[in-house]
Structures are given as structure tokens and as C-alpha cells.
Structure 1
Amino acid sequence: MLALGFGMLLGFCAPAAGAPEPLTIGILDTSLNPYDAMALRETIEHLQNALPNHRLRTVTIPTAEAPGALAAHRPDFLFAPAGFAAQLKTETGTDAFRIATRRKLIHASAEETVGAVFVRLRGSPSGDLESLRGLRAATAMPNAVDGWLAAEGEIQREGYDPEKFFAEVRFLNNAFPDVLAALAARTVDVAILPACLIETLAADGLLDLRDLEVVHRKAHPEGTPQVCAHSTALYPDISLLAMPGAPERAVRQVTVALLSDEDHTSGFSQCEWLTNVSEQQVDALFRTLREGPYRYLRDMSPSALFERYRTPILAVLGILLLLVLNEFRLRRIIRERTASWLASQREAEALRQEAESARLRLAGFERRTIVEQLSGMIAHEVNTPVGTIRAYAGALKRFLARSAESGNASITRALEGIDREASRIAGIIQRVRDHARTEAAHTPCNLLDIRRRTIRAFIVEAPAVRGNMIREEKTAADPITVVGDALELELLMLNLLRNASHAVLRDGLLPQDAIRITCAQTQDGGAVLLVENEGKHLSDETLEALRNPVGSPREASAQPSEGLGLGLSICRAIAESHAAAITFEARPKGGLRVVVRFPQAARPSSAQHEEQA
């Protein structure tokens, strides 16, 4: 009823002349108390006088139903407390433009004008804010910045919980007379009033300040006279808002009229209207209390939390999704690489077994070749004296036939026995040589495949030493074909690599790429095998010893290989069996170069093709 009466009090009739354009001004009910109503009435009277072409109409907007009331009345302008524009935009999306903010002249700054004061009856136990804990309190509307909101902010700022600080909080219609009447009747212990209200009432003779006591009194801002007591921080006063849909020309005229208003009040109600007043302090208060535009922060439901933190939640979910996808990617990569590693291990094991098998085959073939070479040497060395013995025995037979002892049977049997045993010795040597000699079938072979198998077999013999000793020179991808026995040619390459390895280690050189092996096709259709190693410069005597055939005394002292010194002899024998020429050359920078030249590979005949098929 009181709010309705104030609305009627502020209503105006249209001027008699003309047809003035109507303008509706809303007043939020949190701004209504008798003294504010009178001050706003004088302000609206000034606006009506300054705007003769407009007819001003006022409506009261209840704060609790503000969105619906504003939609129903659709005011052009609205007097509202600080922070209401932000709250309105949050709740309804309505953009209200703040034209000006009121400053009471007793305050130095428009940003520090209104607040609340804690008041008790004199004679009550006094003290600081702590003394009010557990008491009964009364105040006006719960959403008034100059009342309960300012009190809540101060209580929380002092480290208390506003919702549990008082034993009871009663919300009454108006600070005056309702809240003061409850305090006087002692139905409450403390009254929470707008700052300057008790001083205004005392100035009008409606209240004796000696009956009251201010609790938790704050010091006044610098430059402000000690006129009004306050117990909380101070905030901006009410503002005039231009609502959406207000005529642009009317907004300009109202703004000019309001800023040019000369104060017609006196005492505590003297005021002026200013632009560019910050509402940062009241915004911080709302955020701290989770009120006004920040009331949504009180809703802790999952849907509210999602709406409130949509962007960070989606960002976190996006990051988690990326992490999950990355985990799947890493697992896939690990599986693929594990499978690849296992495949490479199986391949390496297969290659190792293949190299080991090749090594064993080569070792057996090498032993047979050594036996063949030794049998040839023995046959060469033994057959000569055996032949000489048989020749001497034959000569003795012929001598005895012409002598007087020709009829001596004993001598004849002895000579025949010598010849027979010598023939038996030659036969035994020949059988051993025939047994050791192997005749391998010669077929077209790819030197590149043989080189690859030889290098694996060479490394398997001593992986730690020979792992990085060979540099395999790249050649054309086409096969390099020679006619021969693949196993013999592999043994030829292996013996050349062994001799080169022994020379490198003997000279104390670093084994890294110290040996090079190259296969190439010649222009005449033949092939060439080149094995060279780094090392010391070779003397002419050493080269001559290498070029001499096996068994000579000169080679025995200069042979670079180990063991029986038959490695190069085996190489010569294999090269000769393949009609290849083997030469030894000194490298200009030191070391040895061995060159094996193979003749042109004969093309298989049609009969051979049919036989192979």
C-alpha cells in the first residue's frame, strides 16, 4: 500500500496545451522510503518542467517480480539501485543503459554514497561486530544495497558466515518506521538501516540519537565530513537507466535535463547527478555474496555447473578426448612397432641361422679343399721320389740281366718287391687324391647374391669385431652373372675377406669401413670382383710373395693369412677352376687390392633350358 501511495504521489497530469508524448518512468521498490520518495519526486518534477513536450508517468516495479513487471509496463526509464542493470541483463538479456548516478552532496565520491549501519538501543551490551553474533536482527528488503546486502558483505569480509551470524533476521517493509519500531519494541536486538537515515530523522525531529548506539562504526572516506555514521563499505547510489525502446530524442533530452538539475532539496537529501560512475565495488559485492547478476552461482546442480563452466568443461573434455585418442594412437604405434621389432628379430634370427648354415657349409667345403690341396702337394712331393725308386729298380733289373748274377732269384724277387711296393705307394696316393678331389657343376650364378651371403657369414664368425668392418659398395640392381659353383665362389670371397681382416687388425687400424668389396660387370660381358683393405704400404718382396704359387719358400714367410697359409692357395685354385684371373696390387694409400676377373658367362643352350625346366 505504501509503495502504491508513493506511486500515486509521484504521478503527474498532462499539461493542458497540445498533445505531449507520454514517457513512463519506473521506480524499483528497493529505492522507496519516504525520504527517497520525496527526493525522487522533486527530480521528476524538474524533468517534467524541463520536458514540456512529454507527459511523464511513474510506475512502481517490485524487485521480486522485476522481469515480469518490466515486460508488462515497458517503462522508458527506470530508477534502480546500483548493479541492477547487470542483474537485469543476466536474468532477461535486457540491455539497460545507465544515464547517470546520484551523489549526495555530503559524500565526496559518487562511488561511495550509500551503505548500512548496525544500530542498537543505548544501554545494550556494546562492542564490535563480534558482539552482534547470535542476536536477532531486522532490516528492510533483502536485496537492498543500502541495507541487508551491504551488511552481508561486511559480515563476510570480517570472516563470518552471513547466513549463520544472526540468530534471526526479519525482513520488514521499510527501514522507517518498521525496522526502527521493531528495535524500539525490543522484538529485535539490532537494526540494519541505510546510512544517514537516523541522522536525517534526527534532523527532522523524528528521532533522538541519544537513544541509539552505532556498532562497528567505520571511518569516513577522506574529504567527507563526519556527518553520517556507517558500519559497512559505501557503494554508488541509485541510477537512472534508459530501457530498450526508449525514444532516442527523449533519452537525450532527459539526460540533458537531469545533468542540469539544480538541487532543490536541503540537508542530507541534497544531491546531484553524475555520469561515468563506476559500479565496480557493488559488482564485487554481488560476486562475493553470489547475489544479483551472480545469484546463479548458488545453483550447484550438475546442469547449472555445466552451464556455468561450459567452456572449461568442454575444454577439459576435449583434452581428455585427445589424451584418450593419443593413448589409442600410442598403443597402436606400440603394437605396430612391437610387431615390426618381432618381425625384424625373426628375420635377424633367420639371417643368423642362414649365415651359420652357410658358414658351416663353407667350413666343410674349405676343409675338403684344404685336403685336396694337401693331397696334391703330397702327391707332387711323394710321387717324384717313388718314381725315382721305381726307375732305379728297373735299372737294377736290367743291370742284373746282363751280369753274372742274372740267375739270382733272391735279388730278382727283391727288385720286383721294390717296384711293386713303389707302385702300391703311388696307387695309394692317387686314390687319396681322387677321393679328395671334388668336381663341382658350374651353373650361372649372381655375384651380388653370393657377396651378400659371404658378408653375413664373415660377420657371424666375429660379430663384435667385424660388425662394421666392411663397406659394401653399391652397384647396379641388375644381377652380375658368372658361370661357376656358388659355394666355391662364396669360399673365394670369404677367404679374401679373412685375409683383409687379418691385415687390418695386424696393422692396428680402426676397423670402421676398413674393407671394401665391389662386384661389377665388364663391358665384354665378364665380371670383376674387387676386395681391398686399408693398411701399411706393402714392399715389393711382400707383393712378390703373394703372387708366387703355394708351396714356395718365399710365400711361406710372406703369407698374410693365419693357419696353414693355404687361404690364398685355395683362392687361386677356385679362381683357376672358374677360368678367372686373380691379381694382387698395392694401394697407393697403403693396403692391398685383390682383383678377380671372370670371363664372359656362356648363355645356356636350349637343351640346358629344357633340362632345367
Structure 2
Amino acid sequence: MNKILRLIAAVIGFLLLNVQAEEPKEYTFAINSAVTPLLHAAFVNQTIKTVERAVEPAKLKVMYVELPELERLIEDHQADFFISTAATIRRYQDLGARDVLTASSPFSKNPNRSEGSLFIVKADRSDINSVSDLKDKRAAAGRPTAFGMYLAAMGEIAADGYDPKTFFRSTQFYGLNRDQIIKDVLNGKADVGILRACYLEDAVNRKVVTTDQLKFINLKSDPDHICLHSTRLYPNWSFGSNPSVPPAVLSAVAAGLIAQKPVGIGLYWSVASDYTAVDNLLKSLRLGSYQRFSKEWFWQRIVEYRFWILSALAAFVLLLIHSL
């Protein structure tokens, strides 16, 4: 009997050791540096504290990174949790990234329809009044993969039947120096600027620009969204995770964030139920899985690994000759 008890105890101890071994001692939480001003610092800081409590006794390593680095961390599974636009997360869903929760605020009450772009031109540009008038113009934007500051706008251009790759004569990207987009439009360096929805209102509050200095192209209205926007609306900034997070830990994190009280201007975490618009946009722009498994992607891989492919073919030919 004692032998059986000792055996059971040994098996239980072994299983416990394995469970402990599977649980990471540290989790990495990567946050897009462009998250403000849409998600206020107080809300982001409270989110960090909530995640820290949920993953205890494991540690939480927090990193603020710019979009290109965040994309690399997600793709290489080097970030366990992340805050980014819903579109960024959906671009890597075929690699295991998943959108867990989406931010809601008084400015965008419906988390399914919160994020978009705004086309701005100088107020005296009488020659620009519609999306079609923007063709062959000089544009200023955030980054080639920034959602509100570029991709949502390009999705609108694609929806109107144009090729986004050749639509603008040129595009200048400014990264996190987003006020420069407005300045370029005002000083004539750019014909059109692409801003994230609600960024203009923040710039007006900071005295960067006044609304009478600008004209807004292709404005749309939505009863659940109070900010100016020129495109259809998409799910808001989201909290995502990679497959490296154990289900029990992810459940604890999600439960903690859902229970988190509204912060600052009333920001809170909720659930978006419809990502159809984002997926359709990624498909139309051939991004994410639509890029990775397209003919274009295939030929890019051929070019990238051409020396290895040629070496393998040469080895095969030599082997064939030797056999003959």
C-alpha cells in the first residue's frame, strides 16, 4: 500500500513539474508606440497593471515599439501579448495571432466600427473635391502598413475601382511624426494628407491646425462615431495574443480586462463581433495571408532563395548525369 501511495505521489509530482515547466516565467507585452492619443496613457497603464496581476507569479515585460518592430515580434512569436490595430493582428492570424478584446470609448460606441482614415486637403484647393480628384496627387501618410494613417484610405481607393499601388503620384511617410502630415498639406508639399480618424480632433485641441484651414474629402457619417472620417469604419484598437500563451493564462487576462473599469474619458475593453470589413480590406490590398500565399509572394520567395534553388537544381543535374 505504501509503495502504491509513493508511486501516486511521484506521478503527481512529475505532472506538477511538467505543468510548471510549461508555464513561462515571463511574458512579453508589446504595445504599438502610436497607440496614443486614441487610447489614453491612463487606460494603457491600467491595462498593463491588469495583465500583470493576471499572469502572476510570472513577470510581465512591457515594451513600447514602433509598428515595424511590433510586426516582427508578432510574426516571430516573440511577443505574447500586444496592443495594436485590429488590422495588424488580423494580418498575422494565419500565423497564430488572435484578437482577444477591442477598445471602446464614448467617441466610438460600437467596437466593430471605430477605426478609419480621413483625407485632408488645403481649404483653398478647389480642384480637389472627391476621391477621383486625388488621383496622381502627392500624398503624406503615416507608414505603409499603418492602418488608420494609410491602409484604410487605400482600401477606400480600391473599393472605388482604382489600383492603390499606382493611385498617388508619390507618397511621403512620416511614421510617428504625424503632425508633419498636416503641415505638408498646409505648406503645399503634399496635395492630400491621410490621418487616422480622431487624430484631426486631437490636433485641433493641441492648436496644430484649425478646421477652417482644411477641406475634408469623401466624408461619411455614422451615428456611433463622432470623429470626421472619409472611409468605412473598422474594429478599434485591439488586445491580441500569440499561441505561446497557455489557455488558462489567456482566460485570466481576458477576464481581468473585461472586468476593468472605464478609465479616463471612459475607455474600456469589450468584444468586437465582426471583422468582415477588415478581412475584406486585407484581401483587396493583398496583405497578410493574402500576400503570403499569392503568386506575388511565391515569386518573391523564388527570388529571395534563388541561389539555394539553383544550387539544388545543379546538384540534381550532376547526380542525374552521374547516374546515367
Task: Answer yes or no: same fold by TM over 0.5.
Answer: yes
Counterparts in 2 of 1:123 and 1:293: CA distance versus 1, 3 Å: same
1:478-531 Cα shifts (integer Å, max 9, x gaps): xxxxxxxxxxxxxxxxxxxxxxxxxxxxxxxxxxxxxxxxxxxxxxxxxxxxxx
Counterparts in 2 of 1:73 and 1:52: CA distance versus 1, 3 Å: closer
In structure 1, which of residues 153, 172, 175 is the aligned counterpart of residue 174 of structure 2? Answer: 172
Q: Are the equivalent residues in 2 in contact too, given 1:33–1:176 (CA < 8 A)?
A: no
In structure 2, which of residues 189, 192, 195 is the aligned counterpart of residue 190 of structure 1? Answer: 192
Q: How does 1:198-597 map to 2 (within 5 A)?
A: 198-220=200-222, 223-224=223-224, 227-266=226-265, 270-296=266-292, 299-300=295-296
> Aligned-pair distance for 1:219?
2.3
2:84 partner amino acid: A
In structure 2, which of residues 142, 145, 149 is the aligned counterpart of residue 143 of structure 1? Answer: 145
> Aligned-pair distance for 1:74?
2.8
The aligned counterpart of 1:123 is 124
1:116 partner amino acid: S
Task: Name the SS for the 2:101 alignment partner.
Answer: strand
Task: Name the SS for the 2:221 alignment partner.
Answer: coil
Q: Are the equivalent residues in 2 in contact too, given 1:101–1:277 (CA < 8 A)?
A: no
Q: Are the equivalent residues in 1 in contact too, given 2:82–2:239 (CA < 8 A)?
A: yes
Higher relative contact order (CA 8 A, sep 6+): 2
Counterparts in 2 of 1:131 and 1:73: CA distance versus 1, 3 Å: closer
Gaps of 5+ in 2: 1-24, 302-324
Q: Are the equivalent residues in 1 in contact too, given 2:74–2:242 (CA < 8 A)?
A: no
1:27 aligns with 2:31: yes
Task: Name the SS for the 1:262 alignment partner.
Answer: coil
Bigger CA drift: 195-204 or 242-251?
242-251
Q: Are the equivalent residues in 2 in contact too, given 1:33–1:174 (CA < 8 A)?
A: no
Alpha-carbon separation, structure 2, partners of 1:200 and 1:121: 18
> Aligned-pair distance for 1:232?
0.6
1:163 aligns with 2:165: yes
Alpha-carbon separation, structure 1, partners of 2:186 and 2:156: 24
Superposition CA RMSD, Å: 3.1
1:105-148 Cα shifts (integer Å, max 9, x gaps): 22242111000000012222241222222211100011122121
1:289 partner amino acid: L
Alpha-carbon separation, structure 1, partners of 2:114 and 2:297: 37
Alpha-carbon separation, structure 2, partners of 1:186 and 1:24: 43
Alpha-carbon separation, structure 2, partners of 1:150 and 1:99: 21
Q: Are the equivalent residues in 2 in contact too, given 1:195–1:229 (CA < 8 A)?
A: yes
2:255 partner amino acid: V
Alpha-carbon separation, structure 1, partners of 2:272 and 2:75: 28
Counterparts in 2 of 1:185 and 1:296: CA distance versus 1, 3 Å: same
The aligned counterpart of 1:75 is 79
Gaps of 5+ in 1: 1-20, 306-613
Q: Are the equivalent residues in 2 in contact too, given 1:195–1:230 (CA < 8 A)?
A: yes
Task: Name the SS for the 1:110 alignment partner.
Answer: coil
Alpha-carbon separation, structure 2, partners of 1:210 and 1:197: 16
1:59-109 Cα shifts (integer Å, max 9, x gaps): 24554455653477833211132143443243xx3x234321112322242
Alpha-carbon separation, structure 1, partners of 2:35 and 2:117: 16
1:44 partner amino acid: T
> Aligned-pair distance for 1:288?
0.9
1:56 aligns with 2:57: no
The percentage of aligned residue pairs carrying the same residue is 23
> Aligned-pair distance for 1:44?
2.7
> Aligned-pair distance for 1:301?
8.0
Task: Name the SS for the 1:112 alignment partner.
Answer: coil
Counterparts in 2 of 1:66 and 1:56: CA distance versus 1, 3 Å: closer
Counterparts in 2 of 1:281 and 1:22: CA distance versus 1, 3 Å: same
2:118 partner amino acid: V
The aligned counterpart of 2:45 is 42
Q: Are the equivalent residues in 2 in contact too, given 1:115–1:232 (CA < 8 A)?
A: yes
> Aligned-pair distance for 1:279?
1.1
> Aligned-pair distance for 1:169?
1.0
Alpha-carbon separation, structure 2, partners of 1:301 and 1:102: 33
TM-score of the pair, normalised by structure 2? 0.74
